[in-house]
Structure 1
Amino acid sequence: MPRRLHLFLAISIATWHFSDATTSQIRMPGVVPEADSYLCTSLELSDQENYLTGFKALTTKGTAHHILLFGCEEPGSDELVWDCGEMNKPNDEMPRAPTCGSKPAILYAWALDAPPLELPKDVGFQVGGYSNIRHLVMQVHYMHSKEEPDETGLEITHTEEPQPKLAATMLLVTGGTLPANKTESFETACMIEEDVVMHPFAYRTHTHRHGKEVSGWLVKEDQSQEDHWKLIGRRDPQLPQMFVPVEDGSMTIQQGDMVTARCFMANNEDRDIPMGATGEDEMCNFYVMYWTDGEVMRDNTCYSPGAPNYRWGREAALNHIPK
């Protein structure tokens, strides 16, 4: 059965957000993972509404390849731990299920010894209470097998004091195949269709070892159908995969705008490499953390089939594409 997270019982700490800010931990309960396994564990939230304002990984890159924290209405399984690697081979010793019972909301992501993250003042992820997030689900990708029980986890800073700005995280991601002994770009683009004003404040990139550069862009079209590109952020994905401030803190993304991402990758191997879940596959991910004055977007995922079947200038009909 899922564990219950009694946020009001957590240890008090001093942060610059609020004097009543507290921390809670979500940890793996002593799992012994196989190589390239994706394991999930969940915490049921209390009926008291809370706002998440900070995250700190309790592990190292030698143990966990990456960690994702999801907000769910219901977890994908009632088990204490389950195999949630939907795109990789099953773990015969664990039940297999998705991360969430319904569409997951990505709250936080960590990899490569990224440092702790504190959200800006007055910004928080709304969870528990009457929100749609009734459970937290932590997914850990273990690149290598372990012989000793592991308790990788996250320390989460939160407060019961309502935050005037609600946070959310948008994921831009591609499919596709990286050809043998070639360089390739993987692109995705989505129109913002919901009536929201997004204020991006941080971004994060993620690839595996073939990634060279990942960038995200805001595209606004003028009355002459000319596209105007503004950089959200650009980063080498081989650096610590932390959330870093966006290029322009005054940027806003509105209904009718296009949000795009691109990954440059280089393959010096004699095999084609698909986008996928294992360490031998690749990934092209760009995360945008944003706040709004009202409701956040209902759909925070932007996906394309990626190279060679998807190009900005062809499928998305974009122009003035930056180099």
Structure 2
Amino acid sequence: MPNVYPHRDELYLCTPIRIAPKQNFYIVGFKPNATMHTAHHMLLYGCSEPGSNDPVWSCGEMQSNMIDKMYTTASPCRSGSQIVYAWARDAPSLELPPEVGFLLGRDSPIKYLVLQVHYMSKFPEGKTDNSGVFLKYTQEPMPRQAGVLLLGTSGAIRPDTVEHMETACTLKEDKVIHPFAFRTHTHGLGKLVSGYVVRKSMKGDSWNLIGSKDPQLPQMFYPVQNTDPISKFDILAARCVMNNTRHEFVKIGATNKDEMCNFYLMYWVENDSPLKTKYCFSAGPPYYYWNTAPENFNRIPDTDDMNIV
């Protein structure tokens, strides 16, 4: 961030960098330069076109109609949006596996990187911020391209209720992806976030855990529990166990009073391009649950509740 001034609470700000269009670059590591006392979370988007031509703009996607007195308002990306990296709760640096990198530039749809920072609180007059991410990159071609698939939900949580927020998508592209890291994200009500690969057969569904984590821990990318390749017709599914101790409905939204249910899957493909599919979202509760989903799931895991303290 170019020494920005967060002039109000719950402000999302974006700033872009343009990638040299005639060269290829491979990001192989991320080093955050931020603290959770300043930034609630940061997202690094890859874009074909940035949401604005300004050096900084207001970019809370769920507040895109809000008029801001200091900054223009736009989405992080105008086109070609995908998430490359995410950070929260003082998560440490991330190094990608050998021979794996995020391709940017000439042969990639990513022509810009846009950093989004969520500031929870207004800054004192005269204080500015330059939180960000240091990128470790190379121009040496990497045989394995990295990608991120974000699974999440919309919906709302009833008062004084433990709720399962669930989503699932069938992999329809003829690609083989190799999962290597996952990250969870909720706000304060999240107790456990889990991701699975589901394979259907005549004998019943098999649910293979990719990873599971308490989202109140540092929201870093952790190594997956299962590195088996994921291919066409496999189903990716995620669940957030939310404990709403408030006496009111809590909806999915952009502010800290709202909630989020996100499971990020980071993967690589061998001598291929990443999935065209970047996002997998459901309507969430009370409209979508695994037990009523069109995939007709069975053998649904029910042990997540045991992890609630």
- 1:246, distance to aligned residue in structure 2 (A): 0.3
- 1:32, distance to aligned residue in structure 2 (A): 1.0
Change over 3 Å in CA distance of 1:225–1:176 after alignment to 2: farther
**Mapping of residues 86-235 of structure 1, within 5 Å:** 86-88=61-63, 89-147=66-124, 148-222=127-201, 224=202, 226-235=204-213
- 1:225, distance to aligned residue in structure 2 (A): 6.3
CA distance in 1, matches of 2:282, 2:238: 10
* Counterpart AA for 2:83: I
Asked if the contact 1:37–1:91 (Cα under 8 Å) also holds between the matched residues in 2, the reply is no
CA distance in 2, matches of 1:225, 1:264: 28
Q: 2:60 aligns with which of 70, 85, 89?
A: 85
Cα shift readout 1:211-247 (whole Å, capped 9, x = no counterpart): 000000000112x162111000000000000000000
Which range moved further: 117-126 or 79-88? 79-88
Asked if the contact 1:83–1:90 (Cα under 8 Å) also holds between the matched residues in 2, the reply is no
Is there any run of 5+ residues in structure 1 with no aligned partner, and where?
A: 1-27
**Mapping of residues 1-150 of structure 1, within 5 Å:** 28-33=1-6, 34-46=8-20, 47-88=22-63, 89-147=66-124, 148-150=127-129
Cα shift readout 1:74-116 (whole Å, capped 9, x = no counterpart): 1000000001112134432210111111131100000000000
**3-state secondary structure, aligned to 2:292:** coil
CA distance in 1, matches of 2:113, 2:35: 21
Aligned-residue CA RMSD in angstroms?
A: 0.9
CA distance in 1, matches of 2:80, 2:153: 18
CA distance in 2, matches of 1:49, 1:288: 24
- Counterpart residue number, 1:245: 223
Asked if the contact 2:46–2:80 (Cα under 8 Å) also holds between the matched residues in 1, the reply is no
**3-state secondary structure, aligned to 1:197:** coil
Using the size of structure 1 for normalisation, the TM-score is 0.89
- Counterpart residue number, 1:274: 251
Change over 3 Å in CA distance of 1:225–1:103 after alignment to 2: farther
Asked if the contact 2:80–2:109 (Cα under 8 Å) also holds between the matched residues in 1, the reply is no
* Counterpart AA for 1:151: N
Cα shift readout 1:112-151 (whole Å, capped 9, x = no counterpart): 0000000000000000122111100000011111121100
* Counterpart AA for 2:4: V
Q: 1:310 aligns with which of 269, 277, 288?
A: 288
Is there any run of 5+ residues in structure 2 with no aligned partner, and where?
A: 303-309
* Counterpart AA for 1:69: L
Using the size of structure 2 for normalisation, the TM-score is 0.93
CA distance in 1, matches of 2:178, 2:96: 13
